[in-house]
Structure formats: structure tokens, C-alpha cells
Chains A and B, each alone.
Chain A
């Protein structure tokens, strides 16, 4: 709306006070401010552009004053081209295009070989987002990653070969190799890094995300009008390589891509004052935004990881073919291509089995360092090459796009009965992101990632803190197909404050916990066992360091229901006061995308609790 008002004012000024008056109003236009990335404002400093590179501005104070930058840009665009100096219309084609559209003025013709090459490559390109699902191998990737994606126009000339040759625009921090984990985290959160857009063919990202890190990608194609796409493509040319502010929580890939898209999307795609901006926030905003009264999101496409492709291939095999796969490759280091059950299959079906095993070998190559694997892969390759070409098309499973999955924030109200204290109500707030009961394949199956989960018991004596989880990360690393696998470690890490016993209300203790172990799938049940240790405070218990063991079973009863049984034992070897055993059973029944019912029973050496509540996800 503001965009239209400023445009209208500029147009009204034209007949009244001439072009100069119109120009003066344009600096306040949201699109001009988007072109300058003029989106950094705060309570304690003056508004400014998020771009740090001086070369991005034509006026000395252009980073702080959109009006003087507008003036300088118009002056530069009106100048005749000079030898050996790129004209302003070559350096800033989006500014030139937008100002022409707004004022009707045209600029001297200039030779712009680099801009021409970019424009030729991306003329009419469809714009979109590429979301890489979360990755628990790196804290910075827990919440996923977003990139801009340009694909050749569907109505362009020639055959569209494959999306592998499309263009990715990646916004990422420039992190020096010598920075260790602590400086990395400190600078990421509090500042110290710069970030920039870089471009690469999309296959580089599939190599990294799909093939190496086994992360699914989701392509969100946007329904932008041609004129908007033209402006966006020109603007991307301007910003590639420019240095930007970077903060892991608020000035990250999602927020910068959101601000970039707001050049052509008249919507606040992510709130400017949010304490964090996650890629998922932008994906959901894209799913709800409109352009010219039409949905902004045109199409969603899933790019499955190598692990998921292999899983699909395996599940598409007939039972006797699955048996043949296991007979051919019974153990990681042993391959038996002469297995009778395999040789009994028709050549075409043998090919399907080998295609599955080749995919599995590629998966194993990335998950561990097994010396004999390369030779096994070679033998599989040889065996497959001896059979006719042609493979079964992939049979995709049911994947829910992220913007249609259960949102990450959860608030829950539950009725509670503690056999020591009687009835109470429990309020739970979890800002981010998922637990073992509401995790899904779109984010990360059989895993938990919770930040800031807070549980308050509301009793007659007022609210009592039951638990504050600073973070809680679990990855059960379940095998998806029963083919030989390298040893995988299920692990858990958490830190927070919680009651040491269920029979007391004021026995909060701090802890940091680290566990590692194994998981084993048995049909719909995933059992796990982990051991490790806990560092903890000693106000109400003995022993600051306590070995710990945990057993559990996560059961998938269908798409709507899941349950978790856990038994934990901690023993600081300080006698009874340092020992604690706790068990719990939780069951979740999904009531749709944003609601669920949860029932639980929990006990320790002193008391037990029953709970039943409803959660709302947002």
C-alpha cells in the first residue's frame, strides 16, 4: 500500500512542480529503499543500508541517506559513458530500470559486457527459493538453509535439460578457515562476520546437500510477473559480491533473501524486529503471500537426498528382490554377486537390485570411511554395466513440503496430577523446533531439536518452574533400509534447569548432558540405548559429575500417532542422594497441522505424574 502511495505522490508531482519534485519523493519509495537494502534500523543508531561495500553507493553518505544516493544515481545515469569506466547503468541496472519505469527517463547507451552476459543468461528466468532441510551435523545448519534459485524461462528457446544447470544464489557468511568453534559462534551471534551473495550452478548445491550431507531440498518457484522478475534479476546482478552485515539469528540467509524479494513482493516477508529469522519463517511467509491478488507460491518441488532416493528404490523392490539385495551385500565389507537368489532374477530385475545397491554404496561413501567400499562400488559398477541400460523410475514417498508441515513453535496447556501434590495445570512454551513426537521427515525424522522449552506448573501457590531447556538435541540415526551400514552413533546433548525429583517443587538443578549409543529399528518401533554423563549442580543432589544411561523406544503407530517410552538412570556414585531413576511414557495424537493431544505418565523413585493436554503449533 505504501508503495502505491509513494508512487502516486511521485506521479502527482510531475505536472505540478516538474520532474525534480517527483524525483525527490522517490527516495522514500519502498522499492528504492529495497534496492539499497536500506533495512537496518534500531533504537540506538540511525537507519542505514545493510550493504557494507562502499562501491555499492555513488554518494559519500549513500549508505545512510537514500535521498542523496538517489540524487547521485540519477546524476551518474545521466552522464555520458566514459572510456575505461563502467557506466552507472552497467553497475546498477536495476536502479536504472526502476528509475526509468518511475520517471520515464532513459539513459545514454553504454556498453555493458558483464551485465549483458548476466542478462542474456537469465533473461526471463523464473525465480524461486531452494530450501535445504536441517542438518544436525553442524549447529549453524540445524534450522536449514535457504538459497535463491534462477531457472531458465519455461517459454525460452531450446530444451530445458535439467535443473542441475540452473543458477543458485547463496547468501553466506565469509568465515575465515582459522576461526575455531568459539570465535565462530561468538562472531556469528554478536557480529564480526560479513556475508555476501555468491552464485554457482545448482549442481554444486546438490553435490553438497543431496549427495554429501544427505539433506532433502525443496524448490519453491515463485509466481512473479515478468516485469518483477526482470527487476529482480537485474538487482541480483548488483548485489552479488557486495559485503553485507551478518548475524546468525537476525541478519542471515533467510532475512537477507526476504529483504531482497521484498523489492518485488509487497509484503513483510519476515518481521523486521523478530529476535530470530529462520529459513522456515520465510518459506511459510512465501506460502501465504500474494502478488497482484494471486498466490506468490506457484509450485513446490522436492529434490530427494541420495539416502532418500535409495530408500525409495529399495521399497520399490519386490520382497524376493529385497532378499536378493541382502544376499548380494550381506555385510559392508563383503559382496557376493554370485548369490543364487540374485542370479535367479531376470536381468532387468537384477539391474533394479544393483541400482539400489549402487545408490546405497554412494550413501555409505559419505557416512564413513570404510577401506573396502571403493572396491565394492567398483564391482557393483562392473556388474551393472554388464546388464542392459535403463532403470526404474523413482517411486516417491509421501513428503510434506515444509510450509505445509506442523509449525515449529508450540504452546500447550495440560491438566496434571502428581500423587504428592495433587492436581495442577502445566503451561509449556517451545519457541523452536521439534521433539521426537512431532518431528517429521521434512525436517528430520527420528530426531529432536528444542530451544528454550519452558514448562511452568500453575498451582494454588502460583506458578512454579518445572523445566527450562536451553537446548535439547537428539539424533537417533535410524537406518532407513535393512542394508549393511557403517556404525552410526545415536546421540543426545542438552543443557538446562529442571527439578531433580518429582516430589518437590523447589529443587531446581542445572545440568549439561551428553549421551551416545545405538538405535535399532524393529518394524514400527525404534529402540535406542545410550550412555554418557551429566554435569550438574548439587543443591539438592550429590555429585557434580554423574554417569548416565538411557533406554527408549519410539513407536510410530501411523501418520497421526506416536509414542515414546524412556528410562533414564543417573548415578554419581555418591550413595542414594546421587542416584536417580526416571521413566516416562508419552503419546501424541495429531489433530491436524496445528493441534495435537498429548498424554503422559512419568515417575521416579519418589513420585509419579499423569498429564493430559492440548498443544497448538504456530
Chain B
């Protein structure tokens, strides 16, 4: 944390030296975990905020994305900023329950966010209060290689049965019907979530991740039965590769479909795909008539309990939640705004497809590893990976997860 301290020191020194000119300026420190593109987008957003509020100076401390996940535990308790990035859903529960995040329900009521951010409200709410503000989300779904579909003479399916039928044809052509890289585990959690939500519905997904139903439940087994249908058509070495390696397989035409988040579009395009060769489809229907739920992981900003400048921090949250701000921010991020009054770039087929998919959805899930507590998420994803490699071990895997459920949700 030294750089924070030196930053604060340097700032204090600047204050002293410049005398009264800056005496009115209030400091707002913000800890974040942006990759380069979002970082630039947020620097622009901060500049806009400072232009509107000339008496506030925001200091952004950017962390490495992975390191942030452990760093946040330290700075929340040891050296708290005024604002901090995190995620919606159960992922924020440990910080809310231990009193590390501030209740910001008043920001929601004062600015009418309950209506404007309606789709994200449930995932920001614990104990009837809101604990942060969402600024972006993105859709998940199936990205596919249009050229491969054409070459195999296959139509884009509308149902899961149709999808599986296509798989046999892809296999005959020597192409992996479904690709993924499970080395880091999380990509396959997306597959599980979709199969589960399409088989059993959104409420079942929420109950399962909240520990309310047993992993040995027949409904869970039904989900895995659907999964078993596609396992033989999935990239064989998935456990040895990362998601980017699998993306390369889709780009090279060695694989047809990929269950992924919209952030992967940049990787596909870097590999040489274009709007003409890359397709997006909503995950097909399994149980007919179930209301369609989608995965839409939401990124959020919170005020730590130890914040020194709470008033301005709330001002910042209200600013970030505004429709015009979210429109501009998400255009730069290449993602979807959470404010329903915001607009998206209609020229980007993936953004507009995502917008359409999510705005028409019955409900939005965060993602397996954000809806379930961390330890359950880890155990679950390892179980998914083991199932994909050794499908015959399903019963033992579910027993193990059920045991973990008994230990984790107390």
C-alpha cells in the first residue's frame, strides 16, 4: 500500500505548496482493477466528473486484475479508499456481511435508480438495501464460426436438440462442435449455468447457488444429462488449455461453437474474424416454455466503510449511474450500460444482439462464481471439469458437492 501513502503524501505536499488555490479541492481516492481499455474509458469518465465538479479531485489507483482480488481484503481493513470496484451478487456478500461496504440505498432512492437500474437492482440488494452501483454488464451466449457452419452445411439451431444434431455433422467433418478451455475453470461454469437455467429455470439456478437445493437433486442430474449429450463433441484437451487457446480453435475453424462472454469478441477479432464470419446466438431452448434467463455479470462500484469522503463518493456513484454517462462509458468499454435510459452502438452487431437478448430476458443471473459463495464456486467448477473428463463419475462428484454444500452454507 505504500504507493497509496506516497500518493496521498505527494498530494498533501502539493496542497501545502500551492496554498489557497487548492484549498477548496476535496480528494476522492478510487481503487480499481481495470485492464488497459477500460482504464482509458474510466480516465475519460473521471475527467468528465471533475469537469462537472471542479472542487473534487479523483485519484485513481489501478491494480492488476488478478492481484486486486486479494488486495481488496487488505485495503478495506488497513488503508481504505473512498471508492472501490467489485462485483454484484454473492461475490459482494462477504464484504457486506462483515460491514466493509457502506449501505448506499439513499443514492438509489434520491436518484430514482430503482427504476433506471431495475434490471440490476436484485443483484445489488442484500437485506433489502443496496450496497453499490453497477456501471456495466455484458451478455453471455454462444459465439460461432459462420464459415464453419456454411462448410458443414448446417443451419443455426433454435433448440438444444437441434444443436446436438448439428454436432454429429460437425464431428463427421472433423470439427469440434463445442470448444472451451477449462484450465482456469470458470469458462465451463458458463456452460453449466446455461444448461441448468434452460433445463430447470432461473429460480432453480438461484436456489442451487444459494445452497437451498441438494446437488444430488434429480433436477441437477437432469442438467448433467443434457451436458452429457455434448461432452463427446467438446474439444478433447480442454482441461489443458486456456480460454484464449480455445478461442484460437474457433478462429481457425477447428471448432464451431463457444459458450462465452462478450469480452471474447475482441479476442476473436484480433485472431482475424469479422462481423461476417463471427456469429452470436442466444443459448438454445431445452425445456420448452421456460422463461428465458441470461447470464449478465455486472461490474460495480462500492463505498468502503472506511471511506473518508463519503459525500463526494456518493456524488460519484450517482454520476456513474446516469444514463448519458453510462452511454459514453459503455461505448468505450464495448459493453452494455445497466441504465435502461442509456443507448448502445447499433452498428456493433454483438452489442446490439446482447442488448436485445438481455432486455428481453425474464431474469439475469450473475454467473456461477458470483452467485455462489467462493468456496462452493471453486468446488463446483472442479466438479464440472471432472465431469467433462470423466462423465461416468457423476454420482461421486455430486455426492462430493453435496458434502461441500453441507460445510459451506452454515
Bound pair (A, B)? no
Which B residues lie at the A interface, using CB under 8 A? Answer: none
